[in-house]
Structure 1
Amino acid sequence: MNNEIHTAENNEAVDLLDMAGQLWRGKNTIIICIVLAFLLAVAYLFLAKEKWTSNAIVNMPDSGQIANYTNSMNVLYMQNPGSAPSVVDVQNRFFNRFNALISALSEELDNQDEPEKLTIEPTVKGQPAPLKISYTAKSAAEARKTLATYLEKINQRVISELDEDLNQSINSNIVSLKDSLNAQEKVASEKRDQRLAMLNQALIVAKASKIKSPAVQQAEFQSEDTLFLLGSDALQYTIDNEKSRPLPLSDYYYQTRQTLMAISALKSKPESLYSFRYVMKPSLPIHRDSPKRALTVVLSILLGGLIGAGIVLTRNSLRTYRARS
């Protein structure tokens, strides 16, 4: 048994030595294959398009970057401050709109005749912010410049859309408040007309009853039916005074006017708004994504050597087979 194992080991050693000898004798073929593979790799590296990726990390805007919008919303909700969006709500509104638009741009670029690679992914799994945004181009400078351009483009679009929404809300509130003021003024006018009609009727009764001076001591407790007891002189004076004095408007009317004045004075400042905050600005890549020169060269040499060795061994095997047959 030991002799058989020893014989098998000797045979394997002989086979390996024989294979090494065949490879050495066919070294020229192997070298040629390596050179050809190397030249093909060099040609590939020369012709292949380079790919460079610039990365940026963005987060929700700071409170100061949306301060004008937040203040405007607080003014719009003056009459109902409990419903006004918080700073966090506004931050989410801006950043969610930015996220949706940058994602749409990524799909649009990918579906072009010449696709562009713009990727968006969360930096922390399961959290909507911050986001890592990457763009791949033919050069490092182009990748960084294009990514910065796209981010600014989306930022301006978000600001434009939300500013338009804000202006629409301002205009809508102004119209609503003016309608409310007109309605309150109309109600107050109707109340004064009703009171004048009541006083005029009492004056007619007082004159008919020939009551010129007050016939009662406490006029404030008189009902509509007994107003004539105030006398025609007092009633005439009251009517004249009622006609000349301002409309009897409630405190709510003046609160509404104050709100209208505040909203009318609102001025949107889109130039001071930002839909995101940079955690890391678009980077200038120092390593290309592809082609990998060193790796390509090493793989080409290995592949060329393997192909050359395969050719040498296959050729020798065929010769041995033909010689035996």
Structure 2
Amino acid sequence: MTQSDNNKIRVSHDSEQIDLIDLLIQLWRGKWIIALFIIIAALIAGAYVTFAKEKWTSTAVITMPDIGQIAGYTNVATILYGDTKVDINETQQRVINRFSGAFSALSETLSNQSVPEELTIDMAVKGQALPLKVTYQSDSAKNAQHGLAKYIQQVDEQIADELIDDLTMNMRLRVNELQASLITQEKIAQEQKDLRISQITQALKVANESDIKVPQAQQSDNLTQDSLFLLGSAALESMIKNESSRPLVFSDVYYKTKQNLLDIQRIKPDPENIHGYRYVMKPTEPLFRDSPKRSLTLLLAVVLGALVGAGVVLVRNALRHYQPRA
């Protein structure tokens, strides 16, 4: 019984060996068919890598601008509002955030064109807001590099123009504010002058009615409005003439306001002195294209062609020797 079982196992094992050898023989006999499919697949792959549009990606890394790159903005803002109201770090952060938003909007616009362009912006280091990595994909290494540099400059010029517009509007508002302040201070100074003349005129009237022509007080500094008539009518008449021709008297605040106004009016913001970013790494010229991958594509084509050719050979032989059961 044991011997019979051993014979069955041996026969089954031999049968498997014969089937495997037979399979290899069939594939060897159909090698020309397999080779034909490999050649066809290789030709198709070659045509694909030859005519398919190449994709190259250029990369740049940017961060917030240096102080000098936004000096054209901060200097004007300092003149407008003073040193205490201009935070350099906050301004740098606000500018790079504005740049990032504008760049993202441009990326979305390019992707929705009839012929889409792939422009991206993302964090260079995961979990950190800065620096930022920007990429652009084109049909050649040079075009990718130049295209990325062009779009970065385009957004930078846009941000500079927007900041100039903001400054221009703020300058206009600030000029109106300062001019209104000067008008108010001048009005107050004129009212003070008119009040002073009115007070002296009233004192002169009292002096005339009291028939006081010469000063009756030794020190005029101690005189109040009620006792001003003691200076005498002659002195009071002279004071009225002097006060009428005397220029308005302003406080230091008035002259500081006027100086600030003149400083603002002579400002001419230059967008060339305003930049929204600083390069950590300039746009690269890629050394390797993203697609198509020639070596990988041809290798996959050869493998696929061999598999298809082998399948055709085995199916053909199976159909040729197929015998339906009685």
TM range, smaller chain: over 0.9
**Residue 93 of structure 1, CA deviation:** 2.4
- Is structure 2 residue 62 aligned with structure 1 residue 61? no
1:96-135 alignment, distance < 5 Å = 96-135=97-136
Cα distance in 2 between the residues matched to 1:8 and 1:62: 81
Confirm or deny that 1:186 pairs with 2:190.
no
Cα offset for 1:17? 1.4
Q: How far is the alpha carbon of 1:168 from its aligned partner?
A: 1.9
1:72-126 C-alpha deviation (Å, 9 max, x unpaired): 1111113xx4322x22122122211211111111100100111111111110112
- Shift in CA distance, 211/5, structure 1 to aligned 2, threshold 3 Å: farther
2:177 is matched with which residue? 176
Within 1, Cα distance between the matches of 2:136 and 2:146? 10
Give the counterpart letter for 2:184 in structure 1.
A
Name the aligned partner's letter for residue 239 of structure 2: T
Q: Distance in 2 between matches of 1:136 and 1:7?
A: 63
Q: Compute the displacement of 1:31 (Å).
A: 0.9
- Find the counterpart in structure 2 of residue 39 from structure 1: 43
Q: Provide the C-alpha distance between the structure 1 equivalents of 2:50 and 2:324, rounded to a whole number of angstroms.
A: 46
Q: Superposed, which structure 2 residues align to 1:305-324 within 5 Å?
A: 305-322=306-323
> What corresponds to 1:82 in structure 2?
84
Higher mean displacement: 219-228 or 147-156: 219-228
Q: Which amino acid aligns with 1:277?
A: R
For residues 193-212 of structure 1, the aligned pairs below 5 Å read: 193-212=194-213
**Bigger CA drift: 109-118 or 268-277?**
268-277
TM-score, structure 2 normalization:
0.93
Runs of 4+ in structure 1 displaced over 6 angstroms? Answer: none
2:26 matched to 1:22?
yes
In 2, distance between residues paired with 1:210 and 1:124?
93
Other-structure match for 1:219? 220
- Residue by residue over 1:171-201, the C-alpha shift from the partner in whole angstroms, topping out at 9 and shown as x without a partner, is 2212211111111011110111011111101
Per-residue deviation, 1:10: 3.4
What is the RMSD computed on CA atoms of the aligned residues? Answer: 1.8
Q: Which amino acid aligns with 2:84?
A: G
Tell me the residue number matched to 1:261. Answer: 262
Matched position secondary structure for 1:133 = strand
CA deviations on 1:275-314 (whole Å, 9 max, x unpaired) are: 1111121111121111110001100000000001111111
Cα distance in 1, alignment partners of residues 85 and 9 from structure 2: 90
Alpha-carbon deviation of 1:54?
1.2
| 1:241-263 Cα shifts (integer Å, max 9, x gaps) | 22232212112111211211222
**What residue identity is the alignment partner of 1:75?**
I
Amino acid in the other structure paired with 1:69? Y
Distance 2:76 2:17 in 1: 88
Unmatched runs of 5 consecutive residues or more in structure 1: none
Identity of aligned residues (%): 48
SS where residue 321 of structure 1 aligns?
coil
Aligned length: 322
